[in-house]
Amino acid sequence: MPIVEIDDVDDPRLDVYRQLNQTNLTAMSGRFIAESRLLVERLLASSYQVESILAAEQFRAELLATVPPDTTIYLLRKELISAVIGFHFHRGMLACGLREPNPTLDQLLANRTVMDSESGRTIIVCPQIVDPTNLAGVIRNACAFGVDGLILGPQCADPFSRRVVRVSMGTVLQLPIRIADDLIPELDMLYHTFACTRVATVLDDRATPLRSAERPRHLALLFGSEGHGLPQDIIEHCDELVTLPMKRGTDSLNLATSTGIFLYHYSQ
């Protein structure tokens, strides 16, 4: 196992970890960053390849016992880690993972054996969730309720940005995700090829109240952004409209809350 002790914050081998609060350069290089001991553990346990680990000296023995022998480990004094990444960091451990290729729709839907089971499959489709925290909440709920895959539109936040990985508590590493260039053909394929009923979650008096909505065998559940909801052209490519009735003048909920409610209903 290559263990490299570094005492120079300008060492070019640390460039992938540099100024993480200012850039998302890892997206362009096919990498992503996991922060904290817990997320590094979850990355190591996932299918993703770990390129390197950056850790404080105190974790040497633990890393030697748990990290695969071909993974490079950079050891620094704890205070130097903050200088490298550009903000105060007290967790003492980060890792750089390699992104996997963007799956095709066929690959996404073939990822889980549940698609051949009696319970059917559940896919989430999000055209334009630009807020990383909201996207992380959707991902965490999707994993909690056994969703088979997530399809994102081209305007969505990067699902492997530092914030999404952190706020999702690393669950993004467990969920098959596809980033589509154009969602309309994807929606057509979900219906015609994979027999998914496309259900749009909307604020509309004409929509079916969630409590009355029946679960189709194969479900593609669409969520819009908190500010604007689903685009009209996306709604027009859906088979059902479902709404969550609210009281006391409330016209919307936090996206993570609403996705959790919808997913719980359809998981019963």
Range ranked top by mean pLDDT from 106-115, 126-135, 223-232:
126-135
Q: Based on the fold, state whether residues 88 and 123 are members of the same structural domain.
A: no
Residues 263, 200 share a domain = yes
Q: What residue numbers bound the domain in which 13 lies?
A: 3-98
Tokens of residue 67, six digits: 């990290």
- List, for residues 142-172, the tens digit of each pLDDT value: 999 999 999 999 999 999 999 999 999 999 9
Residues 117 and 51 in one domain: no
182 lies in the same domain as 206: yes
Q: What is the pLDDT of residue 118?
A: 58
Strand order in the sheet with 197-201: 177-179, 149-152, 122-126, 219-222, 197-201, 240-243, 208-209
CATH number of the CATH domain containing 216: 3.40.1280.10
Cα distance between residue 132 and residue 138, in whole Å? 10
Categorize the per-residue pLDDT at 96 as very low, low, confident or very high, splitting at 50, 70 and 90: very high
- Domain's final residue, options 68, 98, 128: 98
CATH of residue 51: 3.30.1330.30
Q: CA of 1: how far to CAs of 53, 60, 85, 219, 266, in Å?
A: 11, 12, 24, 45, 46
Query: Which one of 48, 66, 98 terminates a domain?
Result: 98
Q: Are residues 73 and 150 in the same domain?
A: no
> For the segment 180-199, what is each residue's pLDDT rounded down to a tens digit?
999 999 999 999 999 999 99
Share of the chain above pLDDT 70, in %: 96
Tell whether 120 and 208 lie within a shared domain.
yes
Looking at the structure of the chain, the number of domains it has is 2
Q: Is the pTM of this model over 0.85?
A: yes
Q: Is 208 helix (H, G, I), strand (E, B) or coil?
A: strand
What pLDDT, on the 0 to 100 scale, is given for residue 116? Answer: 46
Q: Which position has the higher pLDDT, 109 or 123? A: 123
pLDDT of residue 23: 66
Q: Are residues 130 and 213 in the same domain?
A: yes
Both tokens of residue 237? 């490519």
User: Residue 174 burial (CB < 10 Å; 0-12/13-18/19+)?
Assistant: middle
Pairs from 111-114 (Cβ < 8 Å, separation ≥ 24): 111/148, 111/149, 111/176, 112/148, 112/149, 112/176, 114/146, 114/148
- Please determine, for residue 35, whether its predicted confidence score (pLDDT) is greater than 70: yes
In 3D space, the residue among 64, 32, 37 whose CA is nearest the CA of residue 51 turns out to be: 32
The verdict on 38 and 111 lying in the same domain is no
